[in-house]
Amino acid sequence: MTALKKATGDVVFKFEPFVLHVLCRELQDAQLLHSLAIDSGFRNSGITVGRGGKITMAVRSTHCLEVPLSHKGRLMVSEEYIEFLVHVANQKMEENI
């Protein structure tokens, strides 16, 4: 809160979703992993085939959070709300684990 009160610009509270990149030898391996990821709830997962045939499977969660806290140095939310955001982000981290 001390650092936030000293901020002169815009401040955003941001929680990034879980991402795991797996390099696969065969497309079938990537497809199997993709099916497992989707069935496990990682709905944003996908397969990428790059130049040279490099196959990458990305396991991605949907647990993201991005909330503006201040604008031009002016705090736009209460300290209680920031504590709530931290609690929500910590819950999302537990879901990622």
Tell me: the pLDDT tens digits for 9-47? 999 999 998 899 999 999 999 999 999 999 988 889 999
Q: Quick check: 5 pLDDT over 90?
A: no
What pLDDT is recorded for position 53?
Answer: 92
Q: How far apart are CA 41 and CA 65, in angstroms?
A: 18
Tell me: the pLDDT tens digits for 66-85? 999 999 999 999 999 999 99
- What 3-state DSSP class applies to 63? coil
82 phi, psi to nearest 5 deg: -65, -40
The string of DSSP codes covering 15-57 is: EPPPEEEEEESSHHHHHHHHHHHHHTT-TT-EEEE-GGG-EEE
Global pTM value: 0.70
